[in-house]
Amino acid sequence: MTTQMQFEVRSTYVNVSADEEPVNESAGTALSSGTVKRHFEGGIEGDSVAAVLIARSRPDRLGYVATDSFTGRVGDRQGNFVFQHGGSIDRGALESFGYVVPGSGTDELSGLRGEVRIEFTPPTVHAHSHIAL
C-alpha cells in the first residue's frame, strides 16, 4: 500500500515577460493568446513558460486559461511538471482554479498531483499555492 502525503507549498512569482496577440474581437470582447514567462520564489522555486488564452471585455474585466510548464523545485524535490489554471478577474478581484496535470511530473516530482491556487494583489504581486497529495 502506497502512502500519500498531503502538504501545502506557497510561493510568490513575477511575470518576467509576456506577449499578447489578438485572435478576434466579438461584441466588444477581445480574444487574444500569448506566452508568459514566470519566475517563482519561496516553497516553489524555478521558472515556467505558459500558453495563455484571454477574453477581455474591459481593461479590468477578463477571463483566462493557461497551461504552465514548470522547471525547478517544490519543497526539497527537483523536476518538472505542468499545471493548468484559469479564472476571471473583475476589477482586480481574481476567482481562480487550477490543478497539476496528472502524470506530468518528472524526476523527484514524479507522481505530483493536486490543486493550484493563484492569488493576485494589484498591481503586480502574485501568490501561488500548491497542494500536493
Nearest to 40 by CA among 51, 52, 50, 25: 50
pLDDT tens for 94-129 read 899 999 999 999 999 999 988 888 877 666 656 656
pLDDT above 60 for 131:
no
Domain 7-132 belongs to what topology?
AOC barrel-like (2.40.350)
How do the domains of the chain map onto residue ranges? Answer: 7-132
CB 118 within 8 A of CB 95: no
Write down the pTM of the prediction: 0.86
Number of Cβ atoms within 10 Å of the Cβ of 44: 21
pLDDT above 50 for 3:
no
Q: What is the mean pLDDT of residues 85-96?
A: 90
Cell 495563455 belongs to 52
Grid coordinates representing 17 are 515577460
pLDDT tens for 16-60 read 999 999 998 777 889 999 999 999 999 999 999 999 999 999 988
55 CB contacts (<8 Å, ≥6 apart)? 29, 30, 31, 62, 63, 64
Grid coordinates representing 13 are 512569482
